[in-house]
Amino acid sequence: MNTLLFGVGPLLGFVGMLSGGYWGVGCGWIVVPVLLILGFEPLDAVGIGLLQMVPSTLLTVMRQAPEIGWKPGEPGRSLAIPVGVGALLTSLCGKSINRRLFDLCGPAPLQWMLIGLITFIAVQTLCSRTRCYNDTMPPVTPLRSRIAFATGLVTGLVSSLLGVGGGLLIRPLLTSGFQVPEYYTSRIVRLLVLVTTVTGGVTYLLSAGGFNWQMFGAAMLIAVGGIVGFPLGARLHRIVYDNGYAQHIHKSFAVVAVALLTSTLCSIFGLQAQSRIIMIAIAVLLMVYLALFTLYTRKHPRRIVR
């Protein structure tokens, strides 16, 4: 294992998972570039990025899960379970498809798939709004639950295939597709990110028929910081939301998509070194911004009509 990771890993986990906890997404977009700088193989970097999210998110998800609502007709029963089951069924396939595409065609197909996905997400996020406060969620019919299950199938595959975490796709799906209020969206996304990363990460961990101890150790080092960063990010989200800035939370999620888009485009045009530096800079700036904006919302709360 790279000895630099003993110092860099916890800091990387904290910085990445702070924004992960705020928006309810993974932080593969920053973890993977840094690991590549440290000399890890691309597939190992993706696996570590997935695995470190399990201990980082577990305690926060357990604490917030009862707030989702699990009675018939509530978001947990009608949306979280169908999406989660679908994701479980397909996330185990991601690594094998990833390796086959990488061996046959190189990284380009995966990169172009990622570009198309995140471009759509960035535009859709900026042009939409989330339900919040006094807004109610439309009833979830059996048909919509079946659609949620189908979307979970796609989400699990994309998460483990590209190593970006299911939250990148699940968040816009819930806010725009199913009109779920932000209060529930953030909690469902955190839960489902845990589900998809557990199953997707295991496929990378059990490589070549054995347990990859180096990958496990690297993931746990990063998770040391993530265990602190993720719940802190969730706490910042709650403060910003309670002070009346739910729409800002929704639209600012586009920053994560744009960051990932920038990284992928740089890689395609042979600017890997520049891409990794840009990602580190964006992650640090995001951490500072979220802290300062949270303080701003405390000093300038908006009146909320409930």
pLDDT tens per residue across span 224-262: 999 999 999 999 999 999 999 999 999 998 888 888 788
Task: For the chain, give the percent of residues with pLDDT over 90.
Answer: 25
b/e per residue 81-103 (b: at least 16 CB within 10 A): bbbbebbbebbebbbeebeebee
Say how many residues make up the chain: 306
pTM value surpassing 0.85: no
Dmax over CA atoms of the chain, in Å, equals 57
Closest CA relative to residue 263, chosen from 143, 151, 115, 67: 115
Q: Is 269 exposed, middle or buried (0-12, 13-18, 19+ CB in 10 A)?
A: exposed
H or E stretch at 154: helix 142-162
Is the Cα dihedral 129, 133, 139, 145 positive or negative?
positive
Q: Which pLDDT score is estimated for 71?
A: 86
Residue 207 predicted with pLDDT over 70:
no
Q: Which pLDDT score is estimated for 238?
A: 94
User: Structure tokens of 136?
Assistant: 């109610």
Q: Is 228 exposed, middle or buried (0-12, 13-18, 19+ CB in 10 A)?
A: middle
Q: Where are the alpha helices (DSSP H) in 243-271?
A: 246-252, 254-268
237 or 29: which leads in pLDDT: 237
* Distance separating alpha carbons of residues 67 and 227, to the nearest angstrom: 20
* Distance separating alpha carbons of residues 56 and 287, to the nearest angstrom: 17
Residue 94 predicted with pLDDT over 90:
no
Q: Is 265 exposed, middle or buried (0-12, 13-18, 19+ CB in 10 A)?
A: middle
153-176: pLDDT as tens digits: 887 777 666 655 566 778 888 888
If you average pLDDT over residues 113-128, what whole number do you get? 82
Half-sphere CA count of 18, side-chain side, radius 13 A: 18
- Placement of tokens 């535009």 in the chain: 123
Q: Which pLDDT score is estimated for 241?
A: 93
User: Structure tokens of 124?
Assistant: 């859709």
